[in-house]
């Protein structure tokens, strides 16, 4: 059960490396799974990498509670503040590029160079979305020239708690590409990692925890995608689901389940995470609020 990283040579001889216990990230804390169970995570060749917590429906429930609790503060923060924090995430991630490149390479069976490029792209994606925080309202909102003595203004507002199923394959860039657009506008997220490649996501939680992001804004669950997704899609206190990481059958089932409280649903897309994103992953989780007010002395 040894991996290449398990031991490393030092001048004094072989040194046994210290392995990390991967944990969930809920409400700003790093708990083990409530189930007390883990599952084996392997690299692309089937070699054991680590044990990941097997998140349960109770972990999902706790994560929703944490996300809901964080929502007023996060959605009420200024857009400028949210942008600064997302940029801080990029700064923190930049400092750990090597670690993430290694995790991505192992998880996805990629060369170091390719993995490094993906890690860099993930940093840049945080930067890209950070810049949207105080611009999205200027692009999607605006004054409406209604025919009457009324001020009329539409602004986008975050929808609430969003359950996000991270892409199964693109374990870091794909993950960031679905997570950043959800939270930049003020939503809070319950993120279900890729089942087979959860380690970059669990490590990203450590980055988020040191980036001034308030606890509970992002909650990270690893485990069986369907088992975690079902209670989330059915949860009456979840406002939206992003099905990026669900296969066609599961996606259809979850969408039907989400209909109960009319969750906003973003269906799985093409899976190409390299292109510059558009606005759709943000607008999917925004409500438009229109304010009327009379004009007169």
List of residues contacting another protein (CB under 8 A): 79-80, 83-84, 87, 124, 127-128, 130-135, 138-139, 151, 276, 279, 293-297
How many beta carbons lie within 10 A of that of residue 90, not counting itself?
A: 22
Helix boundaries (H) for the chain: 57-76, 79-94, 97-108, 112-130, 136-140, 173-184, 199-209, 225-234, 248-258, 280-283
Handedness of CA 180, 185, 186, 191 (dihedral sign): negative
What DSSP state is assigned to residue 288?
Answer: E
Looking at beta carbons only, is 30 or 87 nearer to another protein?
87
Closest CA to 38 of 222, 228, 227, 219: 222
Shortest separation between residue 121's beta carbon and another protein, angstroms: 10
Shortest separation between residue 278's beta carbon and another protein, angstroms: 9
CB 239 within 8 A of CB 263: yes
Report CA torsion sign: 57, 39, 28, 179.
negative
Nearer to another protein, 195 or 281 (CB): 281
Q: Is the dihedral of CA 273, 41, 100, 26 positive or negative?
A: positive
CB nearer another protein, residue 256 or residue 279: 279
State the minimum distance, in angstroms, from the CB of residue 92 to another protein. Answer: 13
Q: How far is the CB of 43 from another protein (least distance, A)?
A: 31
Nearer to another protein, 220 or 282 (CB): 282
The answer to whether 266 touches 255, Cβ cutoff 8 Å, is no
Q: Which is nearer to another protein, 36 or 278 (CB)?
A: 278
- Residue 125 or residue 195: which is nearer to another protein going by CB? 125
């Amino acid at each position: 059960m040894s991996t290449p990283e398990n031991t490393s040579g030092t001048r004094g001889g072989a040194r046994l490396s210290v392995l990390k216990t991967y944990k969930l990230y809920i409400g700003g804390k790093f708990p083990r799974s409530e189930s007390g169970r883990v599952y084996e995570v392997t690299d692309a060749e089937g070699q054991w990498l680590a044990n990941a917590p097997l998140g349960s429906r109770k972990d999902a429930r706790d994560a929703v509670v944490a996300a809901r609790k964080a929502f007023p503060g996060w959605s009420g923060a200024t857009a400028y503040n949210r942008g600064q924090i997302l940029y801080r995430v990029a700064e923190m991630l930049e400092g750990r590029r090597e670690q993430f490149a290694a995790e991505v390479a192992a998880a996805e069976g990629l060369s170091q160079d390719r993995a490094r490029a993906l890690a860099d792209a993930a940093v840049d994606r945080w930067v890209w979305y950070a810049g949207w925080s105080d611009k999205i309202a200027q692009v999607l909102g605006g004054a409406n020239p209604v025919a009457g003595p009324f001020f009329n203004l539409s602004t986008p507002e975050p929808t609430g708690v969003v359950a996000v199923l991270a892409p199964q394959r693109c374990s870091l860039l794909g993950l960031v590409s679905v997570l950043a657009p959800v939270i930049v506008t003020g939503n809070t997220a319950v993120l279900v990692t890729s089942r087979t490649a959860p380690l970059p996501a669990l490590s990203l939680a450590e980055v988020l925890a040191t980036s001034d992001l308030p606890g509970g804004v992002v909650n990270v669950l690893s485990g069986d995608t369907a088992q975690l997704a079902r209670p989330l899609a059915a949860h009456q206190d979840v406002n939206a689901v992003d099905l990026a990481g669900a296969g066609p059958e599961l996606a259809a089932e979850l969408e039907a389940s989400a209909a109960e409280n009319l969750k906003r649903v973003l269906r799985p897309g093409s899976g190409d995470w390299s292109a510059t994103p558009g606005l759709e992953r943000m607008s999917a989780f925004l409500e438009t609020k229109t304010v009327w007010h009379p004009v007169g002395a």
